[in-house]
Amino acid sequence: MIGGYNLFLLKGVVVYALVALGLNVLLGYSGQVSLGHAGLLAVGAYVSAIAADRLGVPIVVALVLAAVATALVGALLAWPATRLSGHYLAIATLGFAIIIQKALYELPGLTGGRNGLAVPEASLLGLDLQVAAFQYWFALAIALLAFGFVLALVRSHVGRGWVALKDSVPAAAACGIDVPRYRVKAFVVSAALTGVAGSLFSLHVGFLSADSFNLELSIAFLIAVVVGGMGSVLGAVLGAAFLIAMPALLVDEAELQEIVYGVAIVLVVLALPRGLAQLAEALPRRRSAPTPPPQPDADADAWTELTRANEPPPPALVVEDMRIAFDGVQALDGLSFSVEPGQAVGLMGPNGAGKTTVFNVLCGYYRADGGTARLGEQELLGRAPHELARAGLARSFQQALLFQDLSVRDNLLVGAHSRFEAGVVGAGVRSRRSRAEERGAAARADAVLAVLELGDRADVRARELPFGQRKLVDLGRAVMGRPRLLLLDEPAAGLNSAETARLGGLIERIRSELGCSVLLIEHDTELVMGLCSKVVAIDFGETIATGTPAEVRRNPKVVEAYLGTQPEEMVGTDARG
């Protein structure tokens, strides 16, 4: 059997791995820094110990209470977190942990203040948990459950949502992710895991002292996550093992240990940005079901799949008198236009005319100063981007704005985010609803991959794609959510003529077969002429012409806007848009 000291170390690894797991969910997945997890651990430990001591509850109940209490504290801490990121968040969490530590001192009646708190003995099903081996197995069992839950969670739409908001907040919001709420969810899950760890920690050490839950401990957890590997569940275990094993293996002096930790952080961040788990990535990766080779009818099958769950025909979009000013510059000045149901409308104008601003206002990134935009009966203005995604809006971005750390397939799956109803718990326990939703989305993603002819790149990380393919994935992502109105921002920018022609065909087919309306910002006149039945030309934030593409092209005001001159003044020129 394992010796006493090694068993003690193992127990420590289990507890720290749980905290690292929690912190990883927060930092590795949703990209939020916390310098205060020692405070959360303290909450879990003290709640568990006090519940067992004062209320006499059995250990499992104390554990649940600890998880719930810490989750609540996490939600509280998350409140400032929704508006902060990076170093601001680090500071806020640091402050939080300090406040918790002070509170522990100032409530001696409850926590023993400076004298500390003895953790009462616990037993489970007749087994004395003071016996190290029993305690170890208990902790391990809890940890395995927790790891299973988190693994399922990070592979679900929730986990994808976290990575998405870390990589690109605007794109995540456009896909229907309520970014602030998801940030809070990450905090709550992270805190709950840390609370469970806190309860196990209290058993492990037997005596709680407020001093031990200090900044150095918070940094230690950060070390475990970074060295182990951010965004990797395995990394939590590796990092915890590193944290516990290093001092035991190398040196005895506390200060030298800390120096080793510090050096380890520096080296790992420099050389192994994805931590020790990066080394494990060299092993062959588990792939999702292999994409079958394209068959003759694959294209038709794909379109059948995509149109399978078609919505009724979309309503009209009517924009009236839209206004917005930035620092005194009137970017949109009473803009009005409409898109009939199922129509493709081109939005044209010289640079700086306000075209992307129209999109940003329609999609909820900017708040208009005046005007209305109605999609059927619904007013679009004043609503948040993720709500608009649910209302049937989808957009593509000039810069593609893909989620760099996700695969192509996962990028597409995020596009369907607004269609997922399962919550965190459902996703974590892989409920029937969650699994059904995942299957449905996966089928749709496969269809989109087939249509885009990107089936062989499905598992490639988005950051490794060439630009032309990124734009395609961006388009595919927008289609995943079954939109009623598709807003495309210069989809052909950066594409060569062959790619552009193919893109035009795709967009036309999307419009006609999926039955959505299209609003297109595009400079490529051929594309606009081919796709759009109506063109709206704008300049200085106002509509200057509306009509068929041919009419608008010849319109003297449009020519003047682009070329700055009257057509008659140009010798032998056919007015070009």
Q: Which residues bind other proteins (CB under 8 A)?
A: 27, 31, 33, 35, 79-80, 83-88, 90-92, 94-96, 98-99, 102-103, 105-106, 166, 170, 215-216, 219, 222-223, 226, 230, 253-259, 261-266, 269-270, 273, 326, 356-357, 359-360, 363, 365-366, 397, 401
Nearest-approach distance from CB 210 to other proteins, in angstroms: 12
Nearest-approach distance from CB 305 to other proteins, in angstroms: 31
* C-alpha–C-alpha distance, residues 98 and 551, integer Å: 68
Residue (35 or 558) nearer to other proteins, CB: 35
Nearest-approach distance from CB 226 to other proteins, in angstroms: 5
- Count other Cβ atoms within 10 Å, centred on residue 216: 12
Nearest-approach distance from CB 426 to other proteins, in angstroms: 29
Largest CA distance in the chain: 99
* C-alpha–C-alpha distance, residues 165 and 177, integer Å: 8
* C-alpha–C-alpha distance, residues 315 and 340, integer Å: 7
Residue (349 or 549) nearer to other proteins, CB: 349
What separation in angstroms does the CA of 289 have from each of 409, 417, 442, 443, 458?
12, 21, 10, 11, 11
> Whole-angstrom distance between the N-terminal and C-terminal Cα of the chain?
82
Nearest-approach distance from CB 80 to other proteins, in angstroms: 4
* C-alpha–C-alpha distance, residues 501 and 507, integer Å: 10
Do 170 and 449 form a contact (C-beta atoms < 8 A)? no
Residue (14 or 89) nearer to other proteins, CB: 89
Residue (161 or 428) nearer to other proteins, CB: 161
Residue (88 or 207) nearer to other proteins, CB: 88
* C-alpha–C-alpha distance, residues 507 and 39, integer Å: 52
Nearest-approach distance from CB 433 to other proteins, in angstroms: 33
DSSP 216-239: HHHHHHHHHHHHH-TT-HHHHHHH
Residue (275 or 577) nearer to other proteins, CB: 275
Residue (253 or 281) nearer to other proteins, CB: 253
Nearest-approach distance from CB 386 to other proteins, in angstroms: 14
Nearest-approach distance from CB 219 to other proteins, in angstroms: 5
* C-alpha–C-alpha distance, residues 467 and 156, integer Å: 27
Q: Which amino acid is at 118?
A: A
What separation in angstroms does the CA of 37 have from each of 45, 111, 112, 196, 197?
12, 19, 21, 13, 11
Residue (30 or 194) nearer to other proteins, CB: 30
